[in-house]
Chain A
Amino acid sequence: MIVEKIVEIKNISFFYGERQVLSNISISFAKQTISAITGASGSGKSTLLSTINRLWEEVGGARVEGRVKIWLEGQEIDVYERQISLPELRRKVGMVFQIPNPLPMSIYKNLTLPLKMAGIKNRDLQREKVESVLKDAFLWSEVEPRLHEDARNLSGGQQQRLCIARAMILEPEVLLLDEPTSSLDEGAVFEIENLLLSLKERCSLLMVSHDLAQVRRVADSAVELVAGSLQ
C-alpha cells in the first residue's frame, strides 16, 4: 500500500540562542491519520511541531535550519520558502495548544475571528459555520444558549473543544496538537480523544503527547524524540 504523505520534515535543526534544541531531524507523516510525537518533557516535541507552521518565529531569539514540505490541496509547498504567506499557511495548518487559549471575548467571537481574518465577512455564512463546527466538536448543545458569553467561563474541557472547533473552522488540512489533553481532567480527556478520532476523516492530525497510553488509544503511528533527536 502506498501511503500518501502530508508533511515531510527534512534535516531540521533548531537553535534557541546558543542552545541546540533539535538536531537534524527527518521524518514524514501520512495523510488522514493521527501521528503522535512522544518523548520526555524538554525533548523538543513542541518545538518540532512549531517548525511546521513556523510559529516559533513569533517569539524571537531562535533559528532554524532545514526544510519542511506540506502537501495542501495536492500541491507541494515548501514552508521555508521566502515568498510564502504565513497567515495563509497557518489557515491551512491549524494548531491547538497545551493550555486551552480562548481569546478574552465571547464564544461566538472566538469562532468568527478566524473567518473575519480570512476575509469571510458574510454574517449568515459565519453563523452557519459556527453552528456546524460546534456540532462537530460535540459542543453545540452545551454552548448554544450562551454563545455571547465570555469563552473563559467554560470548563477546561469545553474550552479545549472550543479551541479545536476554532482551529477547524477554516477547514485546515493539517491540525497540529501540542499536548491537547495534558491540562485536563480524565472525563474531558476522553471527550477530546473521541473528537480527535472523528476529525481524522477530514484532516491529518499531528499530536505531541507524553502519555503513552493515550498514544496507543488514538494514534495510528508514533515516533519518539529523545533530547532533540529521533529515536
Chain B
Amino acid sequence: MSGTLQVVFSGRRLLFLVTAGGVFVTLSILVFMIVLGLPLFTSNSFSLILTQDWAPDRGFFGIFPFICGTLAIVTLSLLLAFPLSLGNAVLIHLLLPPVAAKFLHRVVKMMTGIPTVIYGFVGIFLLVPFVREWFDSGSGMSILSAALLLALLISPTMILVFVESFAAIPKSQVRAVAALGGNLRQKLIYLYLPGAQNGILTGLLLATGRALGDTMIALMVAGNATAQPESLLDPVRTLTAHIALVMAADFDSIEFKTIFACGIILYLWTATLTLTLRFLPYGVLKSRLNRGLS
C-alpha cells in the first residue's frame, strides 16, 4: 500500500515541478530581456531610446518611429477588421440560412489555419502592386498594405469569438424580444450587441494581441523604413520587424541592444492585454475560448 501511495505522491510532485518549470520559463523571458537590455537602462537614458528618431549614423538610436509604426498598423487593421468581423458574425449567427451560415463558419475556421507568412507572400505579389498602382505611391509597401493583410489575419479570431458570444445569449431572451415583435435590426441593437458586449471586447482584445505580435506581415509588406510615417501610404517599420532586422548587426552595439527594448515593450503590451482579458467577466465564453481559439 505504501508503495502505491508513494507513486501517487511523487506523481503529483512531478506534475507540480513540470508546471512550476513552465511558469519559471515564462517569467525568465522577461528577465532575460531586461538583463540583456540593461546597458540601455543604465548608460544611455531609456527615455531617449523611447522618444528619439532612428539614425545610427548620427548617433540616434530611438525606436519612437517603430512604436508609431506599430500603433498605426495595429489601429488601422482593427478599424478595418472590426466592422468586417461584426458583419460576418451577424451573417453567420442571424442572417444566413443554416447551410450558408455553416459554410461561412467553416471558411472562417479554416482561415485561422492560414500561415502568416502566406499572407505576407501573397501580399507582396498581389496586394502591394495593387496599392502601388491604385494610389500611385512609391513601392506600395505601406501602412495601408500591412493593415489590410493584418485585418484579414485577425478577423477570423474576432468572428469566432463574436459568434460564440452571440450564441451564449439565452434563448429565452431571444424569444422574449421576438414575442414583442422585434425585427432583426431591433434584436441586434437591443439584445445581441448589449448582451454580447463582453464577448465583443474579448474578441477585440485577442485580435489586438495578435496584431501587435505579428512579425511576418509587417516585415514583408510594411516597407521597413526607419523614418517617422506621415501618411497611410508611407512605409514603416514595426517593433517586431525591427527585432527581426537588427539581428544581423554587431552584438555589442547599442543598435543591437535596442531590440531588447522592443522586446520588453512588446512583452509588456501583450501582458497588459492578457491581464485585462483575465479580469473581464466573460464566464461561459472562457472555457470555449480556451478550447481552441486564442
Chain B residue with the shortest CB-CB distance to A88: B1
Residues in B with CB closer than 8 Å to A85 are 1, 5
Q: List 3 A-B contacts (CB under 8 A).
A: A85-B1, A85-B5, A88-B1
Tell me the complex Cα distance, A88–B8, Å: 14
* B residues 54-80 in Cβ contact with A at 8 Å: none
Minimum Cβ distance to chain B for residue A66 (Å): 26
Chain A residue with the shortest CB-CB distance to B8: A87
Tell me the complex Cα distance, A85–B104, Å: 55
Binding site for B on A (CB under 8 A): 85, 88
Residues in B with CB closer than 8 Å to A88 are 1
The number of residue pairs between A and B whose CB atoms lie closer than 8 Å in the complex comes to 3
Minimum Cβ distance to chain A for residue B1 (Å): 6
Give the number of chain B interface residues (Cβ < 8 Å): 2
Minimum Cβ distance to chain A for residue B7 (Å): 12
Minimum Cβ distance to chain B for residue A116 (Å): 13
Tell me the complex Cα distance, A85–B5, Å: 9
Tell me the complex Cα distance, A201–B1, Å: 29
Minimum Cβ distance to chain A for residue B9 (Å): 13
Minimum Cβ distance to chain B for residue A216 (Å): 42
Minimum Cβ distance to chain B for residue A100 (Å): 28
Tell me the complex Cα distance, A85–B8, Å: 13
Tell me the complex Cα distance, A88–B1, Å: 9
* B residues 1-29 in Cβ contact with A at 8 Å: 1, 5
Chain B residue with the shortest CB-CB distance to A85: B1
Chain A residue with the shortest CB-CB distance to B1: A85
Residues in A with CB closer than 8 Å to B5 are 85
Minimum Cβ distance to chain A for residue B220 (Å): 48
- Which 3 A-B pairs have CB atoms at the shortest separation, nearest pair first? A85-B1, A88-B1, A85-B5
Minimum Cβ distance to chain B for residue A148 (Å): 29
Minimum Cβ distance to chain A for residue B251 (Å): 55
Minimum Cβ distance to chain A for residue B3 (Å): 10
Tell me the complex Cα distance, A88–B3, Å: 13
Minimum Cβ distance to chain A for residue B2 (Å): 9
* B residues 223-254 in Cβ contact with A at 8 Å: none
Minimum Cβ distance to chain A for residue B15 (Å): 19
Minimum Cβ distance to chain A for residue B174 (Å): 32
Chain A residue with the shortest CB-CB distance to B5: A85
Tell me the complex Cα distance, A80–B77, Å: 63
Tell me the complex Cα distance, A85–B1, Å: 8
Chain B residue with the shortest CB-CB distance to A87: B4
Minimum Cβ distance to chain B for residue A55 (Å): 19
Tell me the complex Cα distance, A171–B169, Å: 50
Minimum Cβ distance to chain B for residue A114 (Å): 15
Residues in A with CB closer than 8 Å to B1 are 85, 88
Chain B residue with the shortest CB-CB distance to A119: B4
Tell me the complex Cα distance, A35–B56, Å: 90
Tell me the complex Cα distance, A149–B217, Å: 51
Tell me the complex Cα distance, A88–B5, Å: 11
Minimum Cβ distance to chain B for residue A62 (Å): 23
Tell me the complex Cα distance, A85–B9, Å: 14
* B residues 140-179 in Cβ contact with A at 8 Å: none
Tell me the complex Cα distance, A228–B75, Å: 64
Tell me the complex Cα distance, A33–B68, Å: 82
Tell me the complex Cα distance, A85–B6, Å: 13
Kindly supply a per-residue 1/0 record for chain B positions 182-201, scoring 1 wherever the CB is within 8 Å of any chain A CB and 0 otherwise. Answer: 00000000000000000000
